[in-house]
């Protein structure tokens, strides 16, 4: 199921205000960069909470005496320039804070902040287009910042996640320089769902804690973590890492705010829901939306120049599949395999798409071919497990999911699928445990499988 691009839940990375000099007389510089990225072309819909969270947090930081620079929906180049400006504002002994809300990905046990224009298809693309959190903290430290604060709210499922084999859910532990404090909105390697409100749970509880001053930063974070854990019934437990050697607490003070590309302050009201369109009009609108999708337009342009570009053909098939345009996805995978009959990824993806739309015999044939080309291919085992589950072959499904999990124990879809298969095979308690563990790793997994026609 390599194309499961459910919004992961959005990975959001956030680095925030919990700091200040012990007395105003110290005149310690406090600088912050606050970024909310919401409009990712690869997502089905823009995220709502990152921009709202960034605006509210920027205002709170300003009240706490930080000189704040804000940015919304920043490209890779714009993000790099913003981080360069932050480093330039750091003076020896300063407090430096970064907040990023949007998608984050871990690669090689590092966490990367993802710009809105990132083109991520392989793990190498993460390192090329993403911004390494460890690099950001290292550069700020090199400029002489005494305190570095990173509050990371980037543990969302993201649309890039299953495009490359070595993906790991959630964020990785950060190797930060001395004098750093990092807080993740969720446990390492886990993802969370948006709560549907104007603000994410992490920032909402953090703001409450910041507005009730505590003796030091650790107390503020402890209160925040406890409130989030209780509000989520234990499903979201923030992770904190600190190498601070001094005590700090927030101290109100005037500060300037510099906007990068943000609209005027205030949260824009959500547009009123439109009346349902007739089926034919809805279909035409969907076709137009696909044609105007920026990623699809780019790939279609490449194929217009070179119809034999197998890489562009395969990538467009992935995008079509992620948006539910399964017939178009199959066409692109067909063409990819015709160009390269040994393209194991294309066979696996076509297997997954065919399993979703109920072409189970053809799907099984594709998965078997993928595994012939690449034995012990976890994604193909995962996909074949779905085929067998939908086909009522629960023992075969359990065997496939077991094999996939031996290769990748954090393959949530295999864990959840195995749970369903075990329950259908009579092992109700064992299945319930798998399902519970899968839901803890990915709260969207039930909805995802429902989209495959499996409940």
pLDDT digits (tens, 9 = 90+) for 382-401: 999 999 999 999 999 999 99
Quote the CA–CA distance of 61 and 199 in Å, as a whole number: 16
Task: Answer whether residue 80 shows pLDDT above 60.
Answer: yes
Query: How is 331-386 classified by DSSP, letter by letter?
Result: HHHHHHHHH-TT-HHHHHHHHHHHHHTT-HHHHHHHHHHHHHHSTT-HHHHHHHHH
Q: What percent of the chain has pLDDT over 70?
A: 80
- Range in 169-173, 178-182, 287-291, 326-330 with the lowest mean pLDDT: 287-291
Tokens 């519970």 belong to 436
φ, ψ dihedrals at 272, nearest 5°: -65, 145
- Range in 103-117, 135-149, 240-254 with the lowest mean pLDDT: 240-254
Rg of the chain over CA atoms, in angstroms? Answer: 23
Q: Which domains are delineated in the chain? A: 11-259 (3.40.50.1460), 290-451 (1.25.40.10)
Task: Answer whether residue 325 shows pLDDT above 60.
Answer: yes
CB atoms inside a 10 Å sphere around CB 337: 21
Task: Answer whether residue 452 shows pLDDT above 60.
Answer: yes
Cβ(57)–Cβ(34) below 8 Å? yes
With H, G, I as helix, E, B as strand and everything else as coil, classify residue 358: coil
Quote the CA–CA distance of 109 and 303 in Å, as a whole number: 35
Which whole-number Å values give the CA distances from 15 to 28, 53, 80, 420, in the listed order? Answer: 19, 12, 16, 39
Decide which of 316 and 188 is more confident: 316
Q: Which two tokens stand for residue 435?
A: 């399902």
In this predicted structure, what is the pLDDT of residue 257?
55
What are the residue ranges of helices labelled H in 211-269?
Answer: 217-231
94 Ramachandran zone, left/alpha/beta (phi>0; psi -120 to 50):
beta
pTM of the model: 0.54
pLDDT digits (tens, 9 = 90+) for 333-392: 999 999 999 999 899 989 989 998 899 999 999 999 999 999 888 889 999 999 999 999
Task: Answer whether residue 175 shows pLDDT above 50.
Answer: yes
pLDDT digits (tens, 9 = 90+) for 239-278: 888 888 777 765 554 445 556 654 433 333 334 334 444 4
Cβ(187)–Cβ(235) below 8 Å? no
DSSP state at residue 156: B
Tokens 């064992």 belong to 430
Pairing between β-strand 95-101 and β-strand 30-36 as defined by DSSP bridges: parallel
In this predicted structure, what is the pLDDT of residue 213?
66
């Amino acid at each position: 199921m390599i194309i499961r691009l459910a919004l992961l839940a959005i990975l959001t990375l956030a680095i925030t205000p919990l700091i200040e000099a012990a007395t105003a007389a110290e005149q310690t510089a406090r600088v912050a960069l606050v970024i909310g990225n919401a409009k990712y072309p690869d997502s089905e819909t823009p995220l709502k909470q990152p921009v709202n969270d960034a605006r509210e947090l920027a205002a709170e930081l300003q009240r706490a005496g930080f000189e704040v620079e804000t940015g919304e929906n920043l490209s890779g180049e714009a993000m790099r320039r913003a981080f360069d400006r932050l480093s330039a504002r750091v003076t020896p002994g300063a407090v430096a804070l970064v907040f990023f809300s949007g998608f984050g990905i871990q690669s090689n046990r590092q966490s990367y902040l993802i710009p809105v224009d990132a083109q991520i298809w392989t793990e190498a693309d993460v390192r090329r287009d993403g911004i390494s959190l460890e690099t950001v903290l290292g550069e700020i430290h090199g400029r002489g910042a005494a305190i570095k604060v990173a509050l990371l709210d980037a543990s969302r499922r993201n649309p890039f996640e299953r495009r490359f084999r070595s993906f790991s859910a959630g964020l990785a532990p950060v190797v930060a320089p001395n004098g750093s404090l990092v807080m993740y909105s969720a446990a390492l390697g886990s993802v969370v769902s948006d709560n549907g409100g104007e603000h994410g749970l992490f920032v909402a509880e953090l703001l409450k804690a910041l507005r009730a001053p505590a003796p030091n930063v650790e107390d503020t974070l402890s209160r925040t973590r406890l409130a989030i854990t209780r509000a989520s019934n234990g499903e979201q437990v923030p992770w904190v890492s600190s190498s601070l050697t001094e005590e700090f607490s927030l101290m109100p003070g005037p500060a300037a705010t510099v906007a990068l590309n943000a609209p005027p302050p205030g949260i824009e009201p959500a547009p009123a829901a439109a009346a349902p369109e007739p089926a034919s009009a809805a279909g035409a609108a969907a076709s137009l939306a696909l044609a105007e999708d920026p990623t699809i337009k780019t790939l279609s342009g490449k194929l217009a120049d070179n119809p034999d570009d197998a890489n562009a053909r395969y990538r467009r098939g992935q995008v079509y599949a992620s948006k539910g345009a399964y017939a178009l996805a199959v066409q692109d995978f067909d063409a990819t395999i015709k160009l390269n009959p040994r393209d194991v990824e294309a066979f696996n993806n076509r297997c997954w798409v065919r399993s979703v739309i109920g072409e189970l015999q053809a799907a099984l044939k594709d998965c078997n071919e993928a595994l012939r080309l690449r034995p012990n291919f976890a994604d193909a085992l995962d996909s074949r497990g779905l085929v067998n589950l939908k086909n009522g072959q629960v023992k075969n499904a359990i065997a496939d999911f077991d094999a996939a999990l031996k290769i990748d124990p954090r393959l949530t879809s295999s864990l959840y699928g195995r749970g369903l298969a075990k329950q259908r095979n009579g092992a109700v308690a064992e299945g319930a445990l798998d399902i519970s563990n899968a839901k803890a790793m990915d709260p969207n997994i039930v909805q995802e499988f429902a989209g495959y026609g499996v409940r």
